[in-house]
Amino acid sequence: MRLLVIEDNQALVSNLFEYFEARGHTMDAAPDGLSGLHLAATRQYDAVILDWMLPGLAGPAVCERLRRNANVGTPIVMLTAKAELDHKLEGFAAGADDYLAKPFALRELEARLNALVRRARQGVGAPIVLVVADLRYDSTTQEAWRGDERIQLGRIARKLLELLLRESPGVVSRERLEYEIWGDDIPDGDQLRSHMSMLRRALDRPFTVKLIHTVHGTGYRIAEIPVDK
């Protein structure tokens, strides 16, 4: 997942980054409501972790502006020390999808985020056709094309392709790819490398422009321009 944390408590932000990056997720952070609003409105994230009490613009106001003014449908989990029912109702009325009172367990936050992102990707708001250069992938029909040529892919290759396309031109770590494909039950041997090799043969070998790039020591990405240029 690509996550945005809007939180002014730097110790909490550091804990969130340490936990989620170790799980293979990509993280951005904003220390106040206005900068968080700008990031959430101008960049694509799978979910937003939004604090209630923020400098400049409070969490509910950020949420409401994203929903009503920027028309952003990204799932939002609101964090707050305010556990009273009225505060929860205010957060939901502003457009939050879930609510978690501090202190909380990181595993619970991750589970809630996974559930929200899974539902969002299955809903009407999820991207239908993902495009990079002449490569297209329809996430509904699970069909891949380069130009006018349809590319035949297996189940794991299709999932890898969709993950890479959703993050393009960003780099997706090996750890995240393995977790998204196999969860905690990662098979023995470098199965990810084997599947990426098969995906590269299908998508790149017959074509002049290569789109799959290995970022040594980190992971992979799909982009027209190699990562070192």
Is the distance from CB of 196 to CB of 164 less than 8 angstroms?
A: no
Q: Per residue in 139-170, pLDDT tens?
A: 778 889 988 889 999 989 999 998 898 888 88
> Would you state the CATH architecture of domain 2-122?
3-Layer(aba) Sandwich (3.40)
Is the distance from CB of 7 to CB of 29 less than 8 angstroms?
A: yes
Domain ranges of the chain: 2-122, 129-222
Claim: this prediction has a pTM higher than 0.75:
no
Report the distance separating Cα 20 and Cα 198, nearest Å: 29
Which amino acid is it at 114?
N
Show the tokens assigned to 182: 């196999």
Report the distance separating Cα 176 and Cα 228, nearest Å: 21
Q: Per residue in 81-133, pLDDT tens?
A: 766 667 777 778 888 888 888 888 898 899 889 888 877 766 544 456 788 88
- Fold held by 129-222: Arc Repressor Mutant, subunit A (1.10.10)
